[in-house]
Structure 1
Amino acid sequence: MKPEVSIVIPSYKNSPLDLENLHKNIANLDYPQVKVKVVNIKVSEGKKRIGYAEAANKGILRNKSDLILLINADTKLDKDLLKILVGYTRKNPEVGIVGPKVYSMSDPLEVSPVDLPVLSFNKFFGKMKKVDPLWLENKRKPFSVAWISGSCMLFRRRVWKKLSGFEKNYFMYWEDADFCMRTRNLGYKVFLVPNAKIWHRSGASIGKDNPERIYYVKRNSLYFLEKYTLPPGVILNGIKTTFLIFVKTLRYFLGEKEVSKAYIRAVFDYLRRKKG
């Protein structure tokens, strides 16, 4: 008998149609003899705003399955997704997290450029090497990565418990990379399994150029690099950020007010240690 899998779906400004379609999609998964649990959690709960990471943790706490599938609400899952990911996880106990190949919802035959896994991370310089999209399109065998996109990841509950869950101080964005890095630091591996597939409409809930997204992506990238980069990399990143602040300030006065303001605010909030 196949192990039970809990599916957790943190949602933030997603349309009811997105969630309805995903529920139908989940019902058609080819994963027999298992009770799949779906938990929808609003990232904003009443007066208290909770981020993606905390929403994911709340959903996982409400379930007792040994395997957790964390997915975004704006995704479409291939019917064999769970069968492939669970099968690979069971055969490889050293693997803590697995993820699928992520295609773009707008171009179903094209690998999603915003969901590319990071192949390696240079701690000395704070540089990441993403997988080449063309190489990934033709890749069939599973391979080890530094981290995968949080749009879809399957992981063991015991790994999540050892890490005390996702780091809620990120609020949203970069919590997936942090979770993968901490998993690898425990001695587990992170793998991408190309035969498993999903489609993702990135930015459906918040928009790619939304100032809120720009703010959290930039601020949290600084926290991430500070946490996992050696001093030379931190210094180099500081120089780069200082230069970009100068550029964004110029663009602010040239008319790109909202985007530039979000970027500048992200850097200053990082410097004054604002989290969550």
Structure 2
Amino acid sequence: MKIAVVILNWNGKALLEKFLPSVVAHSSEATIYVADNASTDASVAFVKANYPEIKIIPNTENGGYAKGYNQALQHVEEDIFCLLNSDIEVTQNWLSPILQEFKTNSETDIIQPKILDYKNKEYFEYAGAAGGFIDKYGYPYCRGRIFDTIEKDENQYQDANIFWASGACFFIKKETFKILDGFDESFFAHMEEIDLCWRAFNLNYKTKYIGASTVYHVGGATLQSSNPKKTYLNFRNSLFTLTKNASGSLFFLIFTRLVLDGVAAIKFLLQLKITHILAIFKAHFSYYTALPRLLKERKKLPKKKDYYQTKSIVFSYFIKGNKTF
């Protein structure tokens, strides 16, 4: 079973300089690729000059995470894809537990390792932590991270089936990626991996967390949480995902989301984050514009009712005070 580590890059020379050494040093089992989203800096020249063994896949445009990987992975022949952010430091033997799981458990199709914070290595990192879940209304959360509460890693989360794996370090069988028709390119960035995992879940594919593999993620290297564009993409893409994949009454789900997103806008107002309020309004406008296409997508796959463990993570966290998984 052959594995490819594919790093998507866009004007990320500084990140490649910092994090490629760990990937090269600890990934002898893999073929390493850098998929470049039409960078205008010297990042591709840097890789060619310093790591001639790494294969370069040139994309024709910056199509974001979703389109960038969809285009690049057409040129990758290995059995397993590892989609690795350029701001991740990997550790010794990080690939061994992943390959072992794929080899011994044929039912596992998607895997996420333990993702810890590069800047505070005893704690989980926001984007993925110890594996993701989602509530009835499409709000994602993780074992080890719910909203802004980040847990210290004390090996409290063991290997388990999860609902979604983080796109920061995302392993998937090539055949599964092909059957699912890759990422939804309309997402551009943020939550496209949740959409993919939800589609996989509806087709009975298994997503798993493997804690014996550890990586350290900087997070926010592309868009920081303070950037209103990230707020826009997260709110819009969450609605996209919910509409395409959730079972039950869509009208009820979207109406409830409208109310909950309004509460989030009030929270931003109290923080005087006006640009983030505008981002939420923009997200909803974009969603309603895309609704006819999303409804067509909704008809393509079967829907499973048991996609959520927690009915409302917002109610559980903010009203009941449950701060940990």
Q: Same fold (TM over 0.5)?
A: yes
Q: Does 1:225 align with 2:242?
A: yes
Q: Does 1:155 align with 2:156?
A: no
What CA deviation, in whole Å up to 9, does each residue of 1:7-36 have, x standing for no partner? 11123453x1211222211111153xx451
- Give the unaligned 5+ runs of structure 1: none
Measured after TM superposition, the shift of residue 186 of structure 1 is: 2.9
Measured after TM superposition, the shift of residue 232 of structure 1 is: 4.1
Measured after TM superposition, the shift of residue 146 of structure 1 is: 0.6
Equivalent pairs: percent with the same residue?
A: 22
Question: Which residue of 98, 105, 109 maps to 1:85?
Answer: 98
What CA deviation, in whole Å up to 9, does each residue of 1:83-107 have, x standing for no partner? 1211111111110011100001110
Matches of residues 55-204 of structure 1 in structure 2 within 5 Å?
55-117=68-130, 120-121=133-134, 123=136, 126=138, 130-132=142-144, 134=151, 137-139=154-156, 141-204=158-221
The residue type equivalent to 1:24 in the other structure is P
Measured after TM superposition, the shift of residue 41 of structure 1 is: 1.9
Residues 176 and 117 from structure 1, CA distance in 2 versus in 1: closer, same or farther, beyond 3 angstroms? farther
Measured after TM superposition, the shift of residue 172 of structure 1 is: 0.8
CA contact (8 A) 1:10 1:43 kept: no
- Give the unaligned 5+ runs of structure 2: 41-58, 146-150, 294-325
Q: Does 1:22 align with 2:19?
A: yes
What CA deviation, in whole Å up to 9, does each residue of 1:61-93 have, x standing for no partner? 111111111011111111211112111111111
Which residue does 2:32 correspond to in 1? 37
1:63 is paired with a residue whose SS is coil
Alpha-carbon separation, structure 2, partners of 1:181 and 1:52: 17
- How many residue pairs match? The answer is 269
Alpha-carbon separation, structure 2, partners of 1:235 and 1:43: 42
Measured after TM superposition, the shift of residue 252 of structure 1 is: 6.2
CA contact (8 A) 1:146 1:181 kept: yes
Alpha-carbon separation, structure 1, partners of 2:82 and 2:68: 14
Residues 251 and 79 from structure 1, CA distance in 2 versus in 1: closer, same or farther, beyond 3 angstroms? closer
Question: Which residue of 204, 212, 228 maps to 2:229?
Answer: 212
Residues 12 and 48 from structure 1, CA distance in 2 versus in 1: closer, same or farther, beyond 3 angstroms? closer
Alpha-carbon separation, structure 1, partners of 2:180 and 2:82: 17
Alpha-carbon separation, structure 2, partners of 1:112 and 1:167: 25
Structure with the bigger RCO (C-alpha within 8 Å, sep 6+) is: 1
Matches of residues 227-246 of structure 1 in structure 2 within 5 Å?
227-232=244-249, 234-242=251-259, 244-245=261-262
1:93 is paired with a residue whose SS is coil
Measured after TM superposition, the shift of residue 114 of structure 1 is: 3.3
Question: Which residue of 4, 7, 23 maps to 1:6?
Answer: 4
Alpha-carbon separation, structure 2, partners of 1:245 and 1:120: 23
What CA deviation, in whole Å up to 9, does each residue of 1:193-229 have, x standing for no partner? 0110001111012211111111111100011111222
CA contact (8 A) 1:98 1:191 kept: yes
Measured after TM superposition, the shift of residue 238 of structure 1 is: 2.1
Alpha-carbon separation, structure 2, partners of 1:155 and 1:272: 32
2:123 is paired with a residue whose SS is coil
- RMSD across aligned C-alpha pairs, in angstroms? 3.0
Measured after TM superposition, the shift of residue 247 of structure 1 is: 6.6
Report the TM-score, using the length of structure 1 for normalisation: 0.85
Which residue does 2:50 correspond to in 1? none
CA contact (8 A) 1:67 1:154 kept: yes
Measured after TM superposition, the shift of residue 153 of structure 1 is: 1.4
Alpha-carbon separation, structure 2, partners of 1:129 and 1:246: 18
